[in-house]
Amino acid sequence: MAAAESAPPRQCTPAPDGYTVGGGAQGPLALLPHLGGTDYSIDDVDFVGVISRSLQVLVACKDAPFTDYDSFIEFAGSEKPQIGNSGAGGANHISAEAFAAAAGIGVESVPFNGFADARTACVGGHIDAMVASPAEALEQSRAGNMTPIFIMEDERIDLFPDTPTAVENGVDFTWSSWKSWVAPKGIEPEQLEWLRNAVKVAAQDEEFVQKMTDMGEFVVYEDAATFEKRAMGDSKMAHDAIEALGMLGMNN
């Protein structure tokens, strides 16, 4: 009961009139339709543009039996590491499972009621690893409570120059949680073009970038083509992970 985060909407049938646009986050677009209980899928939208992404780091928790990427993979060979996430079927549950599938290892996902609970268990050493944001991972790793294992990006990031990516270790896996604008499928092409330009201008506005950065967002603009590729890729990866978990269409 009384979940800290409110449930995302599951019904969505807007008119493609060019005035109705939607804020599209990764969860509702790329994950939720696979779990079922929604009346839309990712094929029902036209992509406008990504405005921000939050990067993800897999961290080892306090007293975990591994401290870097190699020892993590080695440990996973003998025993399934317990990876905490902020909710079953949520973004960092799916990302951990998708990585495990890509890397050919087994993991045991331990769901918590929200990110804060998972972090508490991680700092207390009750789980082996979890997925965290870079800012958080940095603060807690300075305190010796978490150790970054790998970054879920194509390339290393400035905050953690010494932490590898999965890609450079030969595992084709990237994941980040994005926020974007989408429009209903079937919108007029010139209206779509106008919207794409508008988002491009807005997302690169200095004041906007400053304000969002202050609020802890990683502002990055991606055009429609890049966005579509990313969203479709995430949706496919999520579909496979959810299918492997036996959760496909469980809420239909």
Partner 1 sequence: MGVALLIPLTFGMTPVMGINMLIGIYIGGIYGGCVSSILLRTPGTPASAATVLDGYPMAQKGEAGKALGMATIGSTVGGLFAAIVLATLAPQLAEIALEFGAPEYFALALFGLTIIASLSGDILKGAISGMLGVLIACVGADPISGVLRYTFGVSGFASGFAFTPALIGLFALSEVFSQMEKHATGEIVSRKIAGRWPSWADLRESRSALLRGSIIGTFIGIVPGTGSGTASWIAYNEVRRSSKTPEKFGTGYAPGIAATESANNAVCAAALIPLLALGIPGDVVTAVLMGGLMIQGLAPGPLMFQSNPDVIVGIFGGTFLATIFMFVFGMALIPLFSRILMIPRHVLSVSIIVFCFIGSFAINLNPVDLYTMVGFGVLGWGMQKFGFSQAALCIALILGPMMESNLRRGLLQTHDNLFEFASGPITQLFLLLTVLSLAWPMIAKRLARRSASSQKRDNA
Partner 2 sequence: MSGIDERPSDTVIGMGLLAFCAFAAWRTLRIKVQAGSTIAGPSFLPWLMIVAISVFSIIMIVRALRREHGETIALPDRAALVKIGIFIVLLVAYAAAFMPVGYLISTFAVFIAGLWLFGERRILMLTLFPVAMVGTVYLGFTEVLKVWLP
- Report the DSSP beta bridge partners of residue 132: 57
Nearest-angstrom CA–CA distance, 209 and 218: 9
Choices 67-75, 123-131, 157-165, 230-238 (CB under 8 A): range interacting with partner 1: 123-131
44 contacts 187 by C-beta, under 8 angstroms? no
Choices 17-25, 112-120, 167-175, 190-198 (CB under 8 A): range interacting with partner 1: 112-120
Considering the complex, what minimum distance in angstroms separates the CB of residue 222 from partner 1? 25
Name the phi and psi angles at 49, rounded to 5. 175, 155
50 contacts 178 by C-beta, under 8 angstroms? yes
Interaction between residue 110 and partner 1 (CB under 8 A): yes
Considering the complex, what minimum distance in angstroms separates the CB of residue 17 from partner 1? 24
Question: Between 71 and 82, whose beta carbon lies closer to partner 2?
Answer: 82
Given 71, 82, 164, 212, the residue binding partner 1 (CB under 8 A): 82
- Residues with Cβ within 8 Å of residue 248, at least 6 apart in sequence: 34, 35, 36, 239, 242
Question: Between 73 and 110, whose beta carbon lies closer to partner 1?
Answer: 110
Structure tokens at 95: 């990302």
Interaction between residue 105 and partner 2 (CB under 8 A): no
Interaction between residue 250 and partner 2 (CB under 8 A): yes
Nearest to 178 by CA among 138, 129, 238: 238
Interaction between residue 246 and partner 2 (CB under 8 A): yes
Nearest-angstrom CA–CA distance, 214 and 208: 10
Interaction between residue 54 and partner 1 (CB under 8 A): no
User: Measuring CA to CA, how many Å separate 28 from each of 11, 41, 45, 107, 250?
Assistant: 10, 9, 12, 25, 15
Nearest-angstrom CA–CA distance, 154 and 161: 13
Interaction between residue 214 and partner 1 (CB under 8 A): yes
- Residues at the contact surface with partner 2, assessed by CB under 8 A: 108, 245-247, 250
- Residues at the contact surface with partner 1, assessed by CB under 8 A: 1-7, 9-11, 35, 37, 82, 87-90, 108, 110-113, 116-117, 119-121, 123-127, 135-136, 139-140, 142-143, 145, 214-216, 247, 250-251
